[in-house]
C-alpha cells in the first residue's frame, strides 16, 4: 500500500466514498469484503493512502465499475454501457422488426390466425427494444476482454 498522496488518488477517494454510499455500505463492511480495517478504507477515501493493484481491482469488481473510473481516468462507470453506435444498431434492428410485423412477414404478426393490433404491436416493440438493450449489455459484459474491465 502506497502511503503517498498522488494525483491519481485524488479522484479515487471521492469516487470510492460515493460508490460506497450508493451501495449503502459502511467503511467497516467494505473493509470486511477486502480483508482490511475500516480505517484503511477511510484512508483511501481521504486520499491518505492508495490501494494496491489487487485491492483496486477488487474495489472495481465490488462496485461494478472499471478501474479507470475509480482512478479518474474515465467518467464511464461501466464498460457495458451502450455507445451511440450500439443504440443506432438497436434502432435499425427495431425498424426491421417493425416493418416485418407491419407487412405480416413474421410469424409473430399473427397469433393463432388473429392479426396483432397496432397497440399490441407497440407493446411488442417496447418489449423487443428492452430485450435488445439487455442482450447488447450482457454481450458487452460477457465478451469485453478482462483487461478492459
Q: Looking at 11-25, 27-41, 129-143, which range is the least confident one?
A: 129-143
The domain spans of the chain are 7-71, 84-148
Question: What is the tens place of the pLDDT at every residue in 32-90?
Answer: 999 999 999 999 999 999 999 899 989 988 988 888 889 988 877 775 667 778 888 88
Cell numbers found for residue 63: 462496485
pTM, entire model: 0.53
- The fold of 7-71 is 434 Repressor (Amino-terminal Domain) (1.10.260)
Beta strand ranges found along the chain (DSSP E): 110-111, 114-115
Cβ neighbors of 41 (< 8 A, separation 6 or more) are 16, 20, 27, 28, 30, 31, 34
- In the predicted model, what is the mean pLDDT of residues 7-13? 71
Q: Which DSSP state fits 76?
A: -
End-to-end CA distance of the chain: 22
Amino acid at each position: 500500500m502506497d502511503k503517498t498522496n498522488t494525483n491519481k488518488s485524488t479522484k479515487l477517494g471521492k469516487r470510492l466514498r460515493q460508490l460506497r454510499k450508493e451501495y449503502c455500505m459502511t467503511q467497516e463492511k467494505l473493509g470486511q469484503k477486502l480483508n482490511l480495517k475500516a480505517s484503511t478504507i477511510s484512508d483511501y477515501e481521504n486520499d491518505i493512502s492508495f490501494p494496491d493493484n489487487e485491492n483496486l481491482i477488487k474495489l472495481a469488481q465490488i462496485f461494478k465499475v472499471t478501474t479507470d473510473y475509480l482512478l479518474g481516468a474515465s467518467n464511464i462507470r461501466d464498460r457495458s454501457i451502450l455507445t451511440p453506435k450500439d443504440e443506432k444498431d438497436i434502432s435499425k434492428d427495431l425498424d426491421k422488426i417493425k416493418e416485418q410485423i407491419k407487412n405480416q412477414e413474421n410469424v409473430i404478426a399473427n397469433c393463432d390466425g388473429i392479426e396483432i393490433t397496432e397497440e399490441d404491436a407497440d407493446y411488442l416493440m417496447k418489449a423487443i427494444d428492452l430485450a435488445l438493450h439487455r442482450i447488447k449489455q450482457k454481450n458487452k459484459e460477457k465478451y469485453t476482454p478482462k483487461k478492459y474491465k
